[in-house]
Every structure is written in structure tokens, then in C-alpha cells.
């Protein structure tokens, strides 16, 4: 699978994405602050086929970034995941949860998800 095919599949897997200006509007921030959130590791973004950076919509809750996201992304990075791999892992169904890790995070089950993410490094 090529990198382009891999990214296209990722966009299909996640479904709803937001551009950085859309995230800025949702969070009532300047787009430069959204760039800073990405730089700080509080958010991650991937480029679509046109080269536009996009963020999964489920990373936001109403007018804020999903609270347990930054720590979870840090654990995934520490496990060797790049941004696209982290997003794919968060959206991939896990029968032992059951469901997707992103849904468990949104339900407040961050400890369980982070434990699973830490185990990936071993």
C-alpha cells in the first residue's frame, strides 16, 4: 500500500475531519494557536490528498480539545507511532474494549486506553 493509499484509507476510516481554520473557529482561537496546539502535542493533523492539514472532528468536544487526548497522544508517540498511525489506532475497533479507543476516551476511560497504548511499546 502506498503512502497516498494509506492516507486515503485513513480519511475513510475517520470520516469527519476539520481543517485548521475550522478548528480555530470551533475553539474560538486564532489559527496560529491551533498550529501551536499541534506543535505542543495537544492535537495532531494529517494532510489530505490536496495537502490540506486536517484534524479528526472527534478530537474536539463542543468548544474545547478532548481533555485526555494530549496525554494519550504522548503515550502513542512514546510507543513509536507517527500521527497517522496514532489516528488509525484510535479509530480501529478493538473487540476487547469493545469498540474504538477514541470512543472510550470520549466516554472518560483514559486510563484503560493509555494502558493499552503503553503496552504497544513492549
Instruction: Convert the pLDDT of each residue in 69-108 to its tens digit.
Output: 999 999 999 999 999 999 999 999 988 888 999 999 999 9
Q: Is the pTM of this model over 0.85?
A: yes
Number of domains in the chain: 1
pLDDT(5) > 60 = no
* Domain that residue 57 falls in: 1-118
Residue with the bigger pLDDT between 3 and 48: it is 48
pLDDT(24) > 70 = yes
What CA–CA distance (Å, rounded) separates 18 from 20? 6
pLDDT, mean over the chain: 91
Contacts 24+ apart (CB under 8 A), 1-8: 4/49, 6/84, 7/46, 7/47, 7/48, 7/49, 7/84, 8/49
Residues 6+ apart with CB under 8 A from 20: 31, 34, 35, 45, 53, 54, 55
- Model confidence over 42-77: pLDDT tens digits? 999 999 999 999 999 999 998 999 999 999 999 999
Amino acid at each position: 500500500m502506498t503512502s497516498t493509499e494509506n492516507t486515503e484509507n485513513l480519511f475513510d476510516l475517520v470520516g469527519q475531519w476539520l481543517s485548521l481554520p475550522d478548528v480555530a473557529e470551533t475553539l474560538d482561537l486564532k489559527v496560529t494557536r491551533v498550529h501551536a496546539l499541534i506543535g505542543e502535542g495537544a492535537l495532531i493533523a494529517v494532510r489530505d490528498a490536496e495537502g490540506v492539514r486536517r484534524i479528526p472532528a472527534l478530537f474536539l468536544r463542543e468548544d474545547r480539545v478532548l481533555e485526555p487526548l494530549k496525554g494519550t497522544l504522548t503515550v502513542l508517540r512514546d510507543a513509536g507511532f507517527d500521527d497517522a498511525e496514532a489516528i488509525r489506532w484510535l479509530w480501529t475497533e478493538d473487540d476487547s474494549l469493545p469498540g474504538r479507543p477514541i470512543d472510550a476516551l470520549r466516554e472518560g476511560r483514559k486510563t484503560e486506553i493509555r494502558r493499552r497504548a503503553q503496552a504497544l511499546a513492549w
